[in-house]
Amino acid sequence: MKTKIMGITIKDRKEKAVKFQSVLTEYGSYVQTRLGTISPECSDSGIILLQLHCSEEIAVEMAQKLENIEGILVSMMDLKV
């Protein structure tokens, strides 16, 4: 298990919220921290940061499911702790 940071950008967040939340709920046991912000230029887009504690396979699987939702982009980084 590794600690990872997943950065997620969401466009049309009000329309994507239900699908997005469904994926987060599915992987909720791996999420240690969740922080969300709304873009100041446009309240319909936002950024979510997740601190995950999981295997590489789980993180990639989660990222792929999120990116299958139109308007969502995911970036990840590993933390050395």
Q: Tens digit of pLDDT for each residue in 14-36? A: 888 899 999 999 999 999 999 98
Q: List the CATH number of the domain containing 45.
A: 3.30.70.1150
pTM over 0.85? The answer is yes
Q: Compute CA distances 81 → 28, 48, 70, whole Å.
A: 21, 22, 33
Note down the domain range covering 40. Answer: 2-79
CB contact set of 29 (below 8 Å; sequence gap of 6+) = none
Overall domain count for the chain: 1
pLDDT in tens, 23-72: 999 999 999 999 988 766 667 888 999 999 999 999 999 999 999 999 99
